[in-house]
Amino acid sequence: MSKIGYGRVSTRDQNPDSQRDALAAAGCDRVFIDKASGKLDRRPELDKALDYLRPGDTFVITRLSRAARSLRHLLDLAADLRGREVDLLVLKQGIDTSTPTGRLQFHMFGAFDEFLRELIVEGTLEGLASARARGRVGGRPRALDADGIEMARALYEMKSQDGKRKYTVQQIADRLGVGRATIYRNLDAEPT
């Protein structure tokens, strides 16, 4: 009977060390860590961890949200583990499905987690709509303003004495301090 740990961080910039430490402290024999969004279906380390499990093992995670994308996915995961005679231990939420109380807690916390995720998404969408109504838009600022686009266009259209373009897109991009893709995007020019 082994304890197999799984952790996940949402972005490449996040550090999984706290999860790895908690799983090691829980006595996990092997630990698998993914660096992927919770929304993604493809999580290779989760697949490896689940393949590694044998009857009598315990699958250990720090939080329910680390292993599941939704309540449906969480319930499917729990059913799969139960069918394979593998227990689930969730450290931060004190869930241990080897007991009837733990199985009840598992379902309750799973429903609460999904509810909170939906509230966060709803709040985010409301905030974005409110900002747009006030004329603010999110995202990265434009690399070129109207003057920069006009200058790029003038440079792009300049011809040398032999009738060829005087400046390459790369030269224009270098002069304006932007990437070539920015020039192509703003001029609707075909890459050369």
Is the distance from CB of 22 to CB of 51 less than 8 angstroms?
no
Section 159-180 average pLDDT: 90
Give the model's confidence band at 107: pLDDT under 50 very low, under 70 low, under 90 confident, else very high.
confident
The pLDDT tens digits for 44-66 are: 899 999 999 999 999 999 988 88
b vs e for 151-171, b when ≥16 Cβ sit within 10 Å of the residue's Cβ?
A: ebbebbeeeeeeeeeebebee
> Is 126 part of a structural domain of the chain?
no
pLDDT of residue 37: 66
pLDDT of residue 106: 77
The residues, ordered by sequence, that sit 6+ positions from 149 with a Cβ below 8 Å of its Cβ are 186, 187
> Is 137 part of a structural domain of the chain?
no
Q: What is the CATH number of the domain that holds 10?
A: 3.40.50.1390
Section 158-165 average pLDDT: 87
Is the distance from CB of 114 to CB of 72 less than 8 angstroms?
no
106-115, 118-127, 132-141, 146-155: range with lowest mean pLDDT: 106-115
> Is 133 part of a structural domain of the chain?
no
> Is 63 part of a structural domain of the chain?
yes
The residue among 121, 137, 157 that closes a domain is: 121
> Is 10 part of a structural domain of the chain?
yes
Scanning the chain, the segments in alpha helix (DSSP H) are 17-25, 44-52, 64-67, 71-83, 100-133, 146-157, 169-176, 180-187
The pLDDT tens digits for 92-103 are: 988 888 888 887
Output the DSSP codes for 74-86: HHHHHHHHHHTT-
> Is 140 part of a structural domain of the chain?
no
Residues 173 and 110 placed together within one structural domain of the fold: no
Number of domains in the chain: 2
> Is 22 part of a structural domain of the chain?
yes
Q: Kindly report the CA angle at 92 between 108 and 51, in degrees rounded to 5?
A: 85
Higher pLDDT, 185 or 69: 185
- Name the residue range of residue 151's domain: 146-187
pLDDT over threshold 70, residue 191 = no
Whose tokens are 């009598």? That residue is: 56
pLDDT of residue 3: 95
Higher pLDDT, 70 or 34: 34
- Select which of 10, 37, 70, 130 is catalytic: 10
Mark whether 160 is an active-site residue.
no
pLDDT over threshold 70, residue 39 = no
Whose tokens are 């044998």? That residue is: 54
Give the model's confidence band at 9: pLDDT under 50 very low, under 70 low, under 90 confident, else very high.
confident
**From the CB of residue 24, how many other CB atoms can be counted at a distance below 10 Å?**
12
Residue 28: name the closest of 50, 6, 3 by CA: 3
Residues 19 and 84 placed together within one structural domain of the fold: yes
pLDDT of residue 28: 94
